[in-house]
């Protein structure tokens, strides 16, 4: 039986865990109530932040777009030039996550930007960060960053943890 195209919520689609979907629903409700928008530039989360936000019915009211900037080439293509890059910028760092958040917001004209960079695993990244290490950031009405370290080399679990951390940080800033 075909589903209707109404805006009612359904169960979270795979690969979302219930916590990720619930965070996206909360972020979407807050953004909609505030009449604000969000854009995303994520790396190690692999698009899960954007996908979670898009899983919320009515996402077009608040989600302007996202980019997976997993490589330097992707970062150059999708976020470079929007805001000045900090000197000696490297991936999977606090300045990089904040740069991504600011750039995503500016590039798409969003009220808020989310940035994420890390090492999902099963091994560390080329900068020497261990698997399970990530920085997430939000930029907009307020800026905030958070370091995450899961102590786990499970790539899929880390990707979901990074996405949850990014959405948690956004929700915290929206609830202020």
- Helix, strand and coil content of the chain, in percent to the nearest 5, comes to 40, 20, 45
Which strand (E) or helix (H) includes residue 96? helix 94-108
Only one residue has tokens 């965070």, namely 23
Dihedrals phi, psi of 53, to nearest 5 degrees: -65, -40
What is the pLDDT at residue 17? Answer: 82
pLDDT band at 167 (very low <50, low <70, confident <90, very high): very high
What is the pLDDT at residue 15? Answer: 59
CA distance 120 to 37: 27
pTM for the full predicted model: 0.91
What is the pLDDT at residue 14? Answer: 53
pLDDT in tens, 109-161: 999 999 999 999 999 999 999 999 999 999 999 999 999 999 999 999 999 99
What is the pLDDT at residue 4? Answer: 44
Give the mean model confidence (pLDDT) for residues 67-87: 95
56-62 LR contacts (CB < 8 Å, sep 24+): 56/9, 56/24, 56/25, 56/27, 56/28, 57/6, 57/7, 57/8, 57/9, 57/10, 58/7, 58/28, 58/32, 59/28, 61/28, 61/31, 61/32, 62/28, 62/31, 62/32, 62/36, 62/37, 62/38
Give the mean model confidence (pLDDT) for residues 95-117: 98
Nearest to 58 by CA among 91, 35, 89: 35
Ranges of each domain in the chain: 35-174
pLDDT in tens, 14-69: 556 889 999 999 999 999 999 999 999 999 999 999 999 999 999 999 999 999 99
What fold characterizes domain 35-174? Maf protein (3.90.950)
């Amino acid at each position: 039986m075909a589903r209707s195209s109404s805006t009612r919520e359904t169960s979270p689609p795979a690969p979302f865990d219930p916590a990720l979907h619930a965070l996206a629903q909360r972020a979407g409700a807050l953004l909609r109530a505030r009449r604000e928008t969000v854009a995303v530039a994520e790396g190690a989360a692999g698009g899960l932040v954007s996908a979670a936000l898009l899983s919320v019915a009515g996402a077009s009211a608040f989600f302007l777009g996202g980019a997976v900037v997993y490589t330097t080439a992707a970062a150059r293509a999708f976020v470079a030039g929007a805001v000045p890059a900090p000197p000696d910028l490297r991936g999977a760092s606090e300045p990089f996550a904040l740069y991504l958040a600011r750039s995503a917001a500016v590039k798409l004209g969003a009220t808020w930007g989310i940035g994420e960079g890390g090492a999902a695993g099963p091994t560390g990244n080329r900068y020497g960060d261990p698997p399970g290490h990530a920085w997430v950031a939000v930029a907009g009405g307020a800026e905030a960053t958070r370091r995450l370290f899961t102590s786990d080399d499970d790539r899929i679990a880390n990707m979901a943890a990074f996405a949850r951390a990014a959405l948690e940080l956004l929700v915290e800033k929206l609830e202020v």
